[in-house]
Amino acid sequence: MLEVQGLVKEYKEYRAVNEVSFRINPGEIVGLIGPNGAGKTTAMRCMAGILRATSGRVLINGFEINEDQAKAKRGLAFVPEVPSLYELLTVYEHMRFIAMCFDTLPIFEAKHEELLTRYHLLDKRNDLVATLSKGMRQKLSVACALVHEANVFLLDEPLIGIDPAGAHELKQEIVRTKESGAAVLVSTHLLDTAEKLCDRVLIMARGRLLAEGSVEELREHYGMAGQSLEDVFLSLTNEVS
């Protein structure tokens, strides 16, 4: 379970994330959507423990990300917007290294062939990460997130740069991950995808959480029956820009 309580992140005097609170339960996919600069990546980096929040708390399975880092991170998989990979390892070595860091080599042994096949990386297994294309790097980043026993997934624009077959596979993977009981937060600008994939969405703008709920609940709440998530999003975010 992921719980975010009053999260604030300031860059000098600029408040990029402003009192954001929400919870994601096991078995839920939640979409994080918002215009450019809304604070989505900053919030996710705070949740992943990469940035230290100015204030607020982030609990991963009950463990606070900064106070109890090792325990919190054991349950966490973070796929950043721009994959940060070890360039001089091969694809195989990279996945194995991540599994070693999380002490989950048996999972790696059992799953890596299947993951490499599923993400069309099998013929690249002995190639250096530095030689991979953008989309392949993204796929490797996702595959690495699946070789440890995470049950909280933070995916920052995971579909950007992936080809249609890879994107289709990744969406199915996200659903499988949810069905296995994980809590998944996925940021995206693809509102059609968010509408189909997510159980709920969080709409952020200018650092604040503007709205939260299933698409059906948002339509009802804002009197926009029959309209798409895109319509609801544009109507809400236009008011604050």
Which residues contact ligand ATP by CB under 6 A? 11, 14, 16, 34, 36-42
Residue 41 or 237: the one with the smaller Cβ distance to ligand ATP is 41
CB of 84 to ligand ATP, least distance (A): 15
Structure tokens, 237: 């975010």
CB of 12 to ligand ATP, least distance (A): 7
Residue reference for tokens 């159980």: 199
| Residues 27 and 64 sit within 8 Å (Cβ to Cβ) | no
Instruction: Give the separation between CA 142 and CA 147, rounded to whole angstroms.
Output: 9
CB of 101 to ligand ATP, least distance (A): 26
CB of 41 to ligand ATP, least distance (A): 3
CB of 195 to ligand ATP, least distance (A): 18
Residue 47 or 121: the one with the smaller Cβ distance to ligand ATP is 47
Residue 40 or 219: the one with the smaller Cβ distance to ligand ATP is 40
User: In whole angstroms, what separates CA 156 from the centre of its chain?
Assistant: 4
Instruction: Give the separation between CA 26 and CA 180, rounded to whole angstroms.
Output: 9
Residue 32 or 143: the one with the smaller Cβ distance to ligand ATP is 32
| Residues 144 and 92 sit within 8 Å (Cβ to Cβ) | no
Q: Tell me which H or E stretch contains 107.
A: helix 105-118
Instruction: Give the separation between CA 155 and CA 29, rounded to whole angstroms.
Output: 11
Residue 103 or 230: the one with the smaller Cβ distance to ligand ATP is 230
CB within 8 A of 98, min separation 6: which ones? 144, 147, 148
Instruction: Give the separation between CA 18 and CA 236, rounded to whole angstroms.
Output: 17
CB of 9 to ligand ATP, least distance (A): 8
| Residues 210 and 39 sit within 8 Å (Cβ to Cβ) | no
| Residues 203 and 239 sit within 8 Å (Cβ to Cβ) | no
Residue 16 or 144: the one with the smaller Cβ distance to ligand ATP is 16
Residue 42 or 151: the one with the smaller Cβ distance to ligand ATP is 42
Provide the total of helices (H) and of strands (E) in the chain, helices listed first: 9, 10
CB of 78 to ligand ATP, least distance (A): 14
